[in-house]
Amino acid sequence: MTPPRRGRRRLPPVQTGLSGRCPECGEGQLFNGLLRYHESCAACNADFRDEDAGDGPAIFVIFAVGIFIIPMALAFHMLLNPPLAVTFVIWSVIIILSSLWLLRLMRGVMFNIAWQRNAREVRLQDFKDTDSKDGGQGS
Ligand SMILES: [Zn+2]
């Protein structure tokens, strides 16, 4: 069975993702809390239960923090020369908070892009459907 086509309205996925909105209607909230998705949209009832952005958002956050924030922490320590514990405490808080903030943004954007492209996880049932259409002969 083919899942229903999504993303018919073609909302801009980056815009709706950054604002944490539903990819289908752009009105309902995508997130239930900081990082967890709602099970469905309160505005249009789009079902989010089988959707997930996977590990992709975390990769982008790791790159962004590693490229931009870690050098700032190193520069802070080398230029101001505070005790190591001060650098560690200050920049641990900055890194954790910025990572969570970036992760929420990226989860919203990647969820919206996947929704607009009708991307989803491949399941064993998908292959069984293909086999039954060609008489079980395979390719
Ligand atoms: Zn919606």
Model confidence at 1: pLDDT above 80: no
Question: What whole-number distance in Å separates Cα of residue 106 and Cα of residue 57?
Answer: 5
Cβ-contact 22, 28 below 8 angstroms: yes
pLDDT at 127: 79
How many Å lie between the centroid of ligand 1 and the Cα of residue 107? 16
Please give the angle made by the CA atoms of 40, 42 and 45, to the nearest 5 degrees: 55
pLDDT at 3: 52
For residue range 35-60, what is the model confidence (pLDDT) as tens digits? 999 999 999 999 998 888 788 999 99
Please give the angle made by the CA atoms of 119, 120 and 125, to the nearest 5 degrees: 135
Residue list, CB under 5 A from ion ligand 1: 22, 24-25, 28, 41, 43-44, 46
Measured from the Cβ of residue 21, the count of other Cβ atoms closer than 10 Å reads: 21
How many Å lie between the centroid of ligand 1 and the Cα of residue 30? 8
pLDDT at 133: 59
How many Å lie between the centroid of ligand 1 and the Cα of residue 14? 15
How many Å lie between the centroid of ligand 1 and the Cα of residue 20? 11
For residue range 57-113, what is the model confidence (pLDDT) as tens digits? 999 999 999 999 999 999 999 999 999 999 999 999 999 999 999 999 999 999 999
